[in-house]
Amino acid sequence: MLRQRIATALVLLALLLPALVVSTEWPFAVLTLVAMAAAGWEWARLNQAGPLAIPLGLLLGVACALALLAGWTTAAPPLAWWAAMAAWVLGGTWVLRGGVAGWPRLPRSLRWAIGLVALWTAWLALANAKAVGLNFILSIFVLVWAADVFAYFGGRAFGKRKLAPAISPGKSWEGVWSGMAGAVLVAVAWLAIDARFATGSASIYTTIAGRFGFAGLALVVVFLVAMSVVGDLFESLVKRSAGAKDSSALLPGHGGILDRVDALLPVFPIALALASR
């Protein structure tokens, strides 16, 4: 299993890194478009779409392609980010409060639409973040990854109080606090790097600190980590409702694409909303 995980990770890095580093935006947009279309298929399968799962995934891919052709991948309407933030904060809270038993009570078509719109908006935010600059998009990726790593080790060391035992029994409140603290430390370090070196573009941390000050930056980082937890729990709730351990087996050793991007789905649109003027 470990060899499989490492091999898959190396293949993904070999595809992702060149698309990230190249100066033009379209290779990254196309690569992530394909990934999101596959994630749309996974979402549809988890929500009882049956034979419609592949068409729904293709529909998402077409919607992303139309946005790419319209030029939205470099200049999407800022209203899209604010609408996504409102939907994630209010809708995410509502869904999680309903729990595993509440999700299947929603009409299937509504469940399909929720997932496809969330994936489309996240893809659009990823493409726009890449257009801002490599430093900007990497800083958002690292925020989520750092929070996850710190939460894992903090939860193992100090975890006592379960966060959402019916949805994700392994998560604890102590892990969440550890993830938030770790992400704030990363933000401080990144600010220092931005101040000392020419990075080509401002990071999310420098952008937010310039708008809201250091105290505001700390609050924004904590908020973004909290929303990454919401994204993670949301996908866990959907999988538990479907009786599935992973969203698919597309990524050997890692599960499915949704399993790898769930925490990113709310974070990228919200980060762009807070960074936009």
Residues 247-273 have pLDDT tens digits of 998 888 778 999 999 999 999 999 999
d(C-alpha 231, C-alpha 85), whole Å: 12
Contact (Cβ atoms closer than 8 angstroms) between residue 84 and residue 266: yes
Predicted pLDDT of residue 2: 58
CB 47 within 8 A of CB 242: yes
pLDDT on residue 1:
58
14-63 pLDDT tens trace: 888 888 888 888 899 999 999 999 999 999 999 999 999 999 999 999 99
Task: Write the pLDDT tens digit of every residue in 83-93.
Answer: 999 999 999 99
Residue 119 CA to residue 116 CA, distance in Å, equals 5
Distance CA 123, CA 118 (A): 9
Cα 161 to Cα 38: distance, rounded to the nearest angstrom: 35
Helices of type H across 22-133:
26-46, 53-69, 78-86, 92-102, 108-132
What is the reported pLDDT for 21?
86
- Using CA atoms, how far apart are residues 269 and 78, in angstroms rounded to an integer? 9
Per-residue pLDDT tens for 118-175?
Answer: 999 999 999 999 999 999 999 999 999 999 999 999 999 998 899 999 999 999 999 9
Nearest-5° Cα angle at 117, 101 to 233: 40
pTM of the model: 0.94
Summarize the confidence of residues 201-216 as an average pLDDT: 95
Q: How confident is the model at residue 107 (pLDDT cuts 50, 70, 90)?
A: very high
| Residues 265, 20 contacting (CB under 8 angstroms) | no
How far is 88 from 4, CA to CA, in rounded Å?
A: 34
